[in-house]
Structures are given as structure tokens and as C-alpha cells.
Amino acid sequence: MTDNELIISKLLNPDKLWSREEILKKPSPIPPENGIYAWYFKTTPNISMFKKYFNIEEHNKVLLLKDSHKFQNYQLLYIGISPKDNKSNNNIRNRLRGHMNGNSYSSTLRLSLGCLLADELKITLKKHGSSLHFGKDEDKLSQWMSENAFVTFQLCNEPWSVEDEAINKLMLPLNLKDNTNSSFKEPLEKLRKHAKSIARLKTS
């Protein structure tokens, strides 16, 4: 087993799944180092938004979960890394805190979740200055993640190489970049684009 395969195996069979409250603790239990992380969900997003806007009946919850990895009662839907390359000074502590407590402009995971959960949480993507996010309703998204989103991580020097291999091997419905495995990618990109278009139109 290669080093990358060992890291991926540990992500698929985690020793611990970290909650939002644990990640946001101070001092943080997450080290400020390079690494890759995997997001598991207790409840997967309601994807009725596809039917509402696109009348795509076949893109239902079964499709979202199709062939994605399950650990105990949690579903693996997304993998990410920090830093993104050897030119960045970011680390997994900062990135995970940003996912859990930032906004949807700086977190592609939050943006995808927010677009999928817009009806359920009664939130709307809006333009704020030059950026698009859910404004004060980001708190509703954070609360949903607090109840449903959990993460595990592995430290590694070059997480981008592990990420490429993981995306190539696994079914990761919420990953967009270089993801050729999941049929969920196209409708999710379409939904995000639609939400952004409406947000810009309302402020133009």
C-alpha cells in the first residue's frame, strides 16, 4: 500500500469524527499543518431544489448517495485539503474553521450546502459588496452543520497529491474540481450557477 493509499484508507475508516464545536474550540485541537480532510454527514441535504428549478426528477436523494462511502451511520460526501499547493501558507486548522464558521463566499462546501438547503433553511444567496454569500443567514447554515456535518483529517506534506487520487478513486458527490465519477456534479454546478445568477440579478 502506498502512502497515499494509506492516508485515504484512514479517511475512510476514521478513528474520530470531529464536530463543529470541537473544531472551533480555543485552544484548537486541530494542528496548524498541511493535511487532507473528509466530510461525513449524519443527515444529507434535501435536494428538492433540483426539482424546483430544473424539473430533474432522477436527481433525488438516492442519486446523491449512490456509491458514496458510508462509515457507521455517516455518509462521506466531500474531501478537501489545505494548503491547496506548495505556494500557499494556509493549513487545515484555518481551513476547517473557515468551513465551519466562515461564509459561503470563502467556502465552496458551504456554498454547495447552502444552495441545496435553501428551501429547507429558508436562506437566500445574496450579493454583499463584491461577494456572494448568505449574509446573516450563514448562522442557519452553521447550525445545520453543527448538527449534521463531521470531519476527519490526516496530516501529510503534499495533500494535493492525495486529493487527486481520492477524487479519482472515490464517489464524492459534493466535490466539483476534477470530479469525473459523480453524476451529481453537473446538476450541482447548475444549481450553484442558478443561485449566483439570481443573486446578481437582484442587485443589478
- What is the value of pTM for the model shown? 0.92
Q: Where are the domains of the chain?
A: 3-203
Cis amide bond preceding 187, omega within 30 = no
Q: Please name the residues in contact with 70: beta carbons below 8 A apart, sequence gap of 6 or more.
A: 76
Task: Supply 185's cell numbers.
Answer: 456534479
Confidence of residue 204 (pLDDT cuts 50, 70, 90): very low
pLDDT score recorded for residue 177: 92
Contact between 42 and 73 under an 8 Å Cβ cutoff? The reply is yes
pLDDT in tens, 60-115: 555 666 778 999 999 999 999 999 988 889 999 999 999 999 899 999 999 999 99
pLDDT in tens, 116-150: 999 899 999 999 888 999 999 999 999 999 999 99
Alpha helix stretches (DSSP H) within 35-107: 49-54, 61-65, 92-101
What mean pLDDT is predicted for residues 156-184?
93
Task: Supply 188's cell numbers.
Answer: 450541482
Contact between 35 and 154 under an 8 Å Cβ cutoff? The reply is yes
Beta-strand (E) ranges in the chain? 35-41, 70-71, 74-82, 126-128, 131-133, 149-155
Task: Supply 150's cell numbers.
Answer: 463531521
Cis amide bond preceding 27, omega within 30 = yes
Distance between CA atoms of 149 and 105, rounded to whole angstroms? 19
